[in-house]
Amino acid sequence: MSKLILARHHESEWNKEGKWTGLRDRHLDQYGFKKSEDMGLLIEDIPIDCAFASMLVRSIETLSCMLNVCKRYEIPTEHSAALNERDYGDYTGKNKWEMEKLLGETEWQKLRRGWNCPMPGGETLKMVYERAVPYFLDKILPKVKEGKNVLVVAHGNSLRALVKYIENVSDEGIEEIEFPFGAVVIYELDGEGHMLKKEVRETKSEVPA
């Protein structure tokens, strides 16, 4: 059966500094490049037929590393802003741990992981879902249904949005889900894009995010 593979971009320059990056474009750092290659090796045994990534450079660089390390140089690839990270609005560039002290742990965790918690000048996870999932259903799922193995490299929150749909996670349950750095999640899906089978492969990663 064909497979959908989800992967999160690895460590960027701002991840290393503990900053909310959102739609700000920041490159991978040296560690991020190396671990992206390690992520590629995790799926070396799976022939990739096509790939998708966001419009942000850290996602594109991660995808390139994953494909290049496996010597897959001519994979059709599509980029879309629908897969971009959550817009952190006024909090873009702020240090997460300083914001935790300012907001308090409960409010900070709700802001980071909640389903529909307002972000000043930015997006909620619900808003990310409303752009990422229609794109998944329109562009990505048809490829999987054609029998193709599809790799998607995106961001913590756009991937959480996809996981919410694929795994039928409740609005409350999504608060407990984080898509880790260094992991690839391999799904087999039904015709509606919901999970039939799931496998997680990981390379050990230490990212201050």
Question: Does the annotation place 22 within a ligand binding site?
Answer: yes
Residue 176: predicted pLDDT: 94
- Residue 85 known to be catalytic: yes
Structural domain boundaries of the chain? 4-202
- Give the closest residue to 28 by CA, choosing from 63, 49, 57: 57
Residue 209: predicted pLDDT: 64
Which of 9, 61, 123, 155 does the annotation list as catalytic?
9
Q: What is the CA radius of gyration of the chain?
A: 16
Question: Does the annotation place 149 within a ligand binding site?
Answer: no
46: its two tokens: 């799976």
Task: Return the DSSP state at 41.
Answer: H
- pLDDT in single tens digits along all 209 residues of the chain: 899 999 999 999 999 999 999 999 999 999 999 999 999 999 999 999 999 999 999 999 999 999 999 999 999 999 999 999 999 999 999 999 999 999 999 998 999 999 999 899 999 999 999 999 999 999 999 999 999 999 999 999 999 999 999 999 999 999 999 999 999 999 999 999 999 999 999 998 888 66
Architecture of the domain spanning 4-202: 3-Layer(aba) Sandwich (3.40)
Which of 27, 44, 78, 85 does the annotation list as catalytic?
85
Residue 47: predicted pLDDT: 96
Which H/E stretch holds residue 144?
helix 141-145
28: its two tokens: 């991978």
Question: Does the annotation place 87 within a ligand binding site?
Answer: yes
Question: Does the annotation place 156 within a ligand binding site?
Answer: yes
Question: Does the annotation place 27 within a ligand binding site?
Answer: no
Residue 206: predicted pLDDT: 86
Q: In what order do the strands lie in the sheet with 50-53?
A: 77-79, 50-53, 150-154, 4-8, 183-189, 195-202
Residue 141: predicted pLDDT: 98
- Residue 194 known to be catalytic: no
